[in-house]
Structure 1
Amino acid sequence: MRVIRDAALADGRRADVRLDGDRIDAVGDDLDGELLVDAGGKLLLPGMIDVHVHFRQPGASHKETWTTGSRSAAAGGVTTVVDQPNTSPPTVTGAAFDEKDELASASLVDYGINGGVTENWDPDSLFGKPLFALGEVFLADSTGNMGIDAELFAAAVERAANENVPVTVHAEDADLFDESVLPRNTGDASASEAGGGGRTDADAWSAYRTAEAEEAAVERAVEVADGSGAQVHIAHTSTPEGVDAARAGGATCEVTPHHLFLSRDDLPDLGTFGRMNPPLRSEERRKAVFERLREGAVDVVATDHAPHTREEKDASIWDAPSGVPGVETALPLLLNAAREGELSYERVRDVTAANPAEIFDLPRKGRIEAGRDADLVLVDTENARKIRGDELHSKCGWTPFEGFAGVFPEWTMVRGEFAYRDGEFGSACGENVRR
């Protein structure tokens, strides 16, 4: 038995944590065992469960790999990630699932693999796999090659309900996008075909993908789910109206760090590096979403970690790809907000670990208590530092949070083994959480 001595827990208690192999054996005072770490009153948290990442393999390893993405996760206190289906090939068949699962064996952290829905999906082969959930089902063909129509969405939700699998929904209604801002008002968000006209400023993407499109899509998603009995989880909710609609409809929802800490006011500095789906919202809406996080209306913080190279992002607002990295900076940003009194440490623990474990049925994850996996993160809450993209571990090498303050882990442990400690990484030992 190994003991972490004198740790501060999120609820304010001071306790020892004893480990038995890959599990937590006991939490209490003066526990017997071999000293592993003297925490000295530093904060010990359950590892973050990031239920929304894009590690880009297979198909785009120049942006990220399971090795680089999981290193970035471990350095940021994330011990479990859930990869989304829009890789190449997309994870819509059992064969595609197996290909991704083999690549994920390089991960330093535990992982889940979300299966997706397209016109070509194979539900029979997908549901024969250990799916984490049915991931990022789109309400409209509004976000690229994973888009689906309303009829297929309803069929997917019904099948997921029958299999008792949650459905993660990207909720934006393309019918409510403002096409008047598009180049030459062609209805096609491609400057290369439009040839000028329309808006070309960095805020144009936010103006195009309206806040109203999110609220309407959330309402539609929960309405469809209500008839099927499916459990719906709304991904990357970016507006207070979207959060409220999810809550009113009985769905759970997640919010990203970029929608919590960035707004349209930041776009003059970010430029096309601030383009993502859903887009950044007004500062007023950002503050309202943060308030809902603080008061408990937001269930989960997930990153939607979606790295692209600098060269890819350095394009026009209509041609740059959507997405930003975030798996390494999410927990540090939230911990710094707690350090500054904007959140409680208990709230940080709940939205990053306890709630995702409960929502997605991970009974061995998410809490520091006997019988759970020893997925642990130690932080010195007084040791904040500036976030610098060239010091992070994602392959893309940049961050939208350049210069923000973050509280980073001293070490991160996955099932009793150090995945990251004092700038050094452990070996690949991640496992599929459904296996």
Structure 2
Amino acid sequence: MLITDAALVDGRVRDVRVEGERISAVERGLTPDSDERVIPADGRLLFPGAIDVHVHFREPGFPHKETWETGSRSAAAGGVTTVVDQPNTDPATTTGAGFDAKATLAEASLVDYGINGGVTPDWEPDVLFDRPIFALGEVFLADSTGEMGIDAELFAEAVDRARDAGATVTVHAENADLFDEAAIESLEDDSDADSPPSSPTGRSAPADAWSAYRTAEAEIDAIERAVAVANDADAPVHVAHTSTPEGVDAAVDAGATCEVTPHHLFLSREDLPRLGTFGRMNPPLRSEDRRAALFERVADGTVDVIATDHAPHTVEEKEQPLLEAPSGVPGVETMLPLLLETVRQGRLEPERVRDLVAATPAKLFDLPQKGKVEPGRDADLVLVDPDRPRETQAGGLHSKAGWTPFEGLWGVFPELTMVRGTVVYTRDPETGAETFGPAVGENVRPEE
């Protein structure tokens, strides 16, 4: 096919030819062949497909929260063409059998994918590293959904094994010893004080206690410890969902890479009266000052990657009292639209967004065929109209969660998403009619 008059992130307007799964030409004045499908871009932005290196698609084990089909549809509708799934499913992706079960389910994906191997006391490193895992992680240094937290000794062993296998370690860095138990003791003693909200916009005053409980110091300390272990072992480490500017600085100063999530970038503790228990996540939302400082580090190039930590739970699950509600929010469909809205507002440059969600993830995680609109690369392409933003509404999204913490925020959503030359999503900007393509997703770490 031929996409004509497309605006690229660097401001050039070019025609882009796709042959098979790859981009074959990016030039001016390309003439359509007789059998080519022509897609007139008419000056709209043609963006490389986003690579979300941190999702939880919940299968196997929790298909009522999300499936590979629903999660990948949500990804495609948000311009994400590659996802990396984390290991805290049931069974966990810590054994050969766990990996194989997930790999079979992932064949339902509309987008390309990687599958991370996890670490628990009973993990099977030899078998896992014989499988086509994407990376080792999310390695949990404190319990989160799935209760896969490990101790320092096992973490050091995992780093050594990953180094020998040539795999990056992705770490969930929180030190549970520095959690503030006093922040939630009153909730444990007084159930009446913790009445759940009736909807994602309901009110739950104690929700802020979760941010007070899982302290910023717990994250900063764990990042410093984890990166020190990795540096001693001469092993690459990537810090997941860094929620504080101090955590970003600690990672970068020590030579590690890090990611920031959209919820830590666009939401803060000031949003908790609106979100209630729907705003519980790990690590938690931080102060508005820290959120603003985090955005500055994204804008100035300090942060390497933005990834969603897409962690869907149902409305019914999130409506429980704070100490019973699960941690996590959906976000794979809203990451790129929210970032493109910051471009429209003049807060980020389009090249910076390209680097954060496509080019840099491709470089850091050895995906040379992805991340840019260039000849020879995979035809993972997203067409958007920067002049047609729309309001984020849960009813217009596709995750099985059925809600979003970003309700009411504006975003620039895709009109077309392509995975290796196959159109997997379209939306008519006039009527809102949507179509989804076939499940063409493949593992980006193919077996040799």
Q: TM-score normalised to the size of structure 1? A: 0.96
Could you say which residue in structure 2 is the equivalent of 1:85?
87
Could you say which residue in structure 2 is the equivalent of 1:14?
13
Amino acid at match of 1:213: A
Instruction: Mark the runs of 5 or more structure 2 residues left unpaired by the alignment.
Output: 195-204, 428-433
CA–CA distance in 1 between the matches of 2:190 and 2:206? 15
Residue by residue, what CA displacement relative to the aligned partner does 1:255-278 show, whole Å, maximum 9, x if unpaired? 000000000000000000000000
CA–CA distance in 2 between the matches of 1:365 and 1:71? 20
CA–CA distance in 2 between the matches of 1:219 and 1:28? 47
Q: Is the partner of 2:413 in helix, strand or coil?
A: strand
- What is the CA-CA distance between 1:29 and the residue it aligns to? 1.2
CA–CA distance in 2 between the matches of 1:32 and 1:51? 37
Could you say which residue in structure 1 is the equivalent of 2:3?
4
- List aligned pairs for 1:87-166, cutoff 5 A: 87-141=89-143, 144-166=146-168
Residue by residue, what CA displacement relative to the aligned partner does 1:196-240 show, whole Å, maximum 9, x if unpaired? 599871100000000111111111111001111111000000000
Aligned match for 2:327, one of 303, 319, 322:
322
- Indicate the percent of aligned positions where both proteins have the same amino acid: 68
Distance 1:141 1:54, change over 3 A: closer
Q: Is the partner of 2:297 in helix, strand or coil?
A: helix
Could you say which residue in structure 1 is the equivalent of 2:435?
424
- What is the CA-CA distance between 1:36 and the residue it aligns to? 2.1
Q: Is the partner of 1:202 in helix, strand or coil?
A: helix
CA–CA distance in 2 between the matches of 1:382 and 1:19? 26
Residue by residue, what CA displacement relative to the aligned partner does 1:264-311 show, whole Å, maximum 9, x if unpaired? 000000000000000000000000000000000111110000000000
- What is the CA-CA distance between 1:247 and the residue it aligns to? 0.4
Distance 1:142 1:416, change over 3 A: closer
CA–CA distance in 2 between the matches of 1:195 and 1:401? 30
Could you say which residue in structure 1 is the equivalent of 2:174?
172
Could you say which residue in structure 2 is the equivalent of 1:187?
none
- List aligned pairs for 1:33-432, cutoff 5 A: 33=32, 34-141=36-143, 144-184=146-186, 191=188, 196=191, 201-422=206-427, 423-432=434-443
- What is the CA-CA distance between 1:135 and the residue it aligns to? 1.3
CA–CA distance in 1 between the matches of 2:191 and 2:415? 50
Q: Is the partner of 1:215 in helix, strand or coil?
A: helix
Deviates more, 1:144-153 or 1:103-112: 144-153
- What is the CA-CA distance between 1:182 and the residue it aligns to? 2.0
- What is the CA-CA distance between 1:32 and the residue it aligns to? 3.4
Distance 1:309 1:175, change over 3 A: same
Amino acid at match of 1:335: L
Instruction: Mark the runs of 5 or more structure 1 residues left unpaired by the alignment.
Output: 185-189
- Contact 1:141–1:149, Cα closer than 8 Å, also in 2: no
- Contact 2:89–2:146, Cα closer than 8 Å, also in 1: no
Residue by residue, what CA displacement relative to the aligned partner does 1:74-126 show, whole Å, maximum 9, x if unpaired? 00000000000000010001111011000000000000000000001000110
User: After the TM superposition, which parts of structure 1 deviate over 4 Å for at least 4 consecutive aligned residues?
Assistant: 141-144, 194-200
Q: TM-score normalised to the size of structure 2? A: 0.93
- What is the CA-CA distance between 1:143 and the residue it aligns to? 5.8
